[in-house]
Amino acid sequence: MADSPTMTYGGYLRLDDLLSCQEPKTRAHDELLFVIIHQVYELWFKQILHEAALLQSRMEEGNSGGSLHTARRIAKILKTVVGQLDVLETMTPRQFASFRDALGNSSGFQSEQFREIEAVLGRRSFPASDLRGDERLRAAVSRPSVFDSLLRYLAGRGHPVPREALERDFSLPWEPDPGVQKVLLAVYADESGPAAEVCEALVDVDEGIQEWRYRHLKMVERTIGAKIGTGGSAGADYLRSTLFAPAFPDLWEVRSQTEEVPVHGG
């Protein structure tokens, strides 16, 4: 279809619709910032899901360069998402309190897109109520995760990935596997090879998610302290329980198994 000569910047981006989506419930100055930051989060979450689908497709096709590029883009988006917290943290506890009651039962823990991101990265333990009300989440927990796609990628490159790992029940949580870790050690032995680069790019993504959790926790602590979160969530306590839980534990475990390579003098 040819480009429309009447297409405008505002029309293409549907700015009238986009800019009418901010409806603060109070007259508090800082509520608009709160709304915009969280709406932008959801836009970035949408893009992460879009990129994650491409990443899995590229890995399963054996496309090393494409997989690397897409994983790196996801990691960059996560850096941007984390950086937005710097803006949100300019809001003081008193400024947040000026409109907090208007949030009612709403909570960031209700983000369907972030739950889907967690599922795509391998989380399977969701409350039944979340699964009942979210068709996309139900689909995500029943199909291969990003790590499953990595295993298929490695198998396609000739690495002896255990068959039981490739043919597992994808609806169950992944359990760290010594056989898979042995394969990963072999992959990392050729650290300049494409497979090792793809693995490291996934570590960047995993680290980005963990960084987001940590920064989100500190933002909540400095804004509401130990209070119960909006929507009745456990607030900081819940966030603290999710820290340091990697999406791809095997990629972290092999670091403690890597032996020092001797350097031979000339």
| Angle of the 178-189 helix axis to the 194-224 helix axis, nearest 10 | 110
Task: Consult the annotation and say whether 74 binds a ligand.
Answer: no
Task: Consult the annotation and say whether 38 binds a ligand.
Answer: yes
Task: Consult the annotation and say whether 36 binds a ligand.
Answer: yes
| Cα–Cα nearest to 66, from 149, 144, 162, 143 | 149
Residue pair 93/222 in contact (Cβ under 8 Å)? The answer is: yes
Residue with tokens 């419930």: 25
Task: Consult the annotation and say whether 230 binds a ligand.
Answer: yes
Residue with tokens 């709406």: 39
Residue with tokens 């505002």: 10
* Interacting residues of 53 by C-beta distance below 8 A, sequence separation 6+: none
Task: Consult the annotation and say whether 100 binds a ligand.
Answer: yes
Task: Consult the annotation and say whether 35 binds a ligand.
Answer: yes
DSSP 190: S
CA distance 202 to 147: 9
Q: Which residues line the annotated binding site for heme? A: 216
Q: Which residues line the annotated binding site? A: 34-38, 100, 216, 230
Q: Which residues line the annotated binding site for substrate? A: 34-38, 100, 230
